[in-house]
C-alpha cells in the first residue's frame, strides 16, 4: 500500500471594500501573496466568497471586457425586474437594514461563489491574461473572502 505524506493546509481571510454597486475587484495579488506566505509549492488554491450577493471568478483583466460582463449581467438580471426577495412585507425574518437586492442574489447565484486554481512552483497556474476577481453585485460594502491553500 502506497503511503502519501500529509498535505499542508493554509487559510487566510482577506477583508476588502467595494466602491460601486457592481464591481470586479482584482484579488490576484492577495492570492499570490498568500501562496508565498503558505510556503506550499505544489497543490491547489480555493478562493471562496461567503456572501450571497457577490462572487469569485477567473477571467481576463481588461476594462472594456469588464463593462461587457456588467452589461450582460444587467441584461440577464435587470435591476428594474420585480424580485420576490424584495417584497419585505411578505417575507419572514427581514433585517431592519436589509436592501432591495434580489437582482444581486440572482446574479451571484449564476456566477458562483468560488474558484479552484492549481499551484506549481509556488505560482498560480493560469493564463497570462487571467486574473482572479471578487465580483461585487450589491455594493458598496465591506466584504471578505477566504483563501485556502492545500498541497506540499
71-130: pLDDT as tens digits: 999 999 999 999 988 777 777 887 777 788 999 999 999 999 999 999 999 999 999 999
Structural domains in the chain, sorted by start? 26-87+99-151 (2.60.120.460)
Q: Are 86 and 76 in contact (CB under 8 A)?
A: no
| 8-state DSSP, 4 | P
pLDDT value, residue 41: 97
Burial 20-43 (b: 16+ CB within 10 A, else e): ebbbbbebbebbeebbeebebeeb
Q: What are phi and psi of 143, to 5 degrees?
A: -135, 170
Is the whole-model pTM more than 0.85? yes
Residue 4 has pLDDT above 90, yes or no: no
Please answer whether residues 24 and 135 qualify as being in contact, where contact means their C-beta atoms are separated by less than 8 angstroms. yes
- Residue 88's alpha-carbon distances to 2, 21, 93, 96, in angstroms, are 57, 21, 9, 10
Residue 3: pLDDT band by 50, 70, 90 thresholds?
confident
> Are 117 and 40 within 8 A, CB to CB?
no
Residue 141, SS3 per DSSP: coil
Q: How confident is the model at residue 6 (pLDDT cuts 50, 70, 90)?
A: confident
Query: Can you give the pLDDT at residue 142?
Result: 98
For position 143, what pLDDT does the model report? 98
pLDDT at 36: 98
- Residue-wise pLDDT for 27-58, tens only, equals 999 999 999 999 999 999 999 999 999 999 99
Amino acid at each position: 500500500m502506497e503511503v502519501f505524506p500529509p498535505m499542508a493546509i493554509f487559510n487566510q481571510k482577506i477583508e476588502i471594500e467595494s466602491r460601486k454597486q457592481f464591481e470586479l475587484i482584482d484579488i490576484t495579488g492577495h492570492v499570490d501573496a498568500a501562496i508565498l506566505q503558505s510556503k506550499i509549492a505544489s497543490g491547489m488554491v480555493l478562493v471562496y466568497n461567503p456572501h450571497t450577493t457577490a462572487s469569485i471568478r477567473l477571467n481576463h483583466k481588461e476594462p472594456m471586457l469588464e463593462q461587457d460582463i456588467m452589461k450582460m449581467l444587467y441584461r440577464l438580471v435587470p435591476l428594474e425586474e420585480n424580485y420576490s426577495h424584495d417584497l419585505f412585507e411578505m417575507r419572514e425574518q427581514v433585517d431592519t437594514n436589509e436592501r432591495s437586492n434580489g437582482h444581486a442574489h440572482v446574479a451571484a447565484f449564476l456566477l458562483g461563489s468560488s474558484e479552484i486554481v492549481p499551484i506549481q512552483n509556488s505560482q498560480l497556474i493560469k493564463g497570462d491574461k487571467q486574473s482572479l476577481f471578487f465580483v461585487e453585485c450589491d455594493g458598496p460594502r465591506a466584504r471578505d473572502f477566504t483563501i485556502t491553500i492545500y498541497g506540499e
